[in-house]
């Protein structure tokens, strides 16, 4: 029973880290793109919206296809 909990915890940590690490990089991204920090923050919003909008559909669609065809589509 302990192993599934540890795996779920590790997966949650990994997902949240990848989602939130961009916030610390916003000043560098804004500087590199020569835009303001709020404008660079819109990139994070666009990414989050894209994940929220297409994630459920991709999750439902991709298991029906083979792994090789999935990788060729991405």
Give residue 73's region: left, alpha or beta (phi > 0; psi -120 to 50): alpha
Q: How confident is the model at residue 68 (pLDDT cuts 50, 70, 90)?
A: low
Rounded CA gap, 1 and 56, in Å?
28
Structure confidence by residue, pLDDT tens digits, 4-60: 899 999 988 988 887 788 888 899 999 999 999 999 999 888 888 888 898 888 778
Show me where the domains of the chain are located: 2-62+69-73
Look at residue 70 in the predicted model and tell me its pLDDT. Answer: 57
Task: Please report the pLDDT score of residue 35 as a whole number.
Answer: 94
């Amino acid at each position: 029973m302990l192993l599934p909990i540890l795996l779920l915890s590790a997966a949650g940590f990994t997902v949240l880290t990848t989602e939130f690490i961009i916030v610390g990089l916003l000043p560098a991204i804004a500087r590199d793109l020569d835009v303001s920090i709020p404008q660079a923050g819109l990139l994070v919003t666009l990414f989050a919206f894209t994940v929220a909008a297409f994630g459920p559909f991709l999750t439902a669609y991709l298991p029906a296809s083979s792994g090789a065809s999935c990788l060729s589509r991405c």
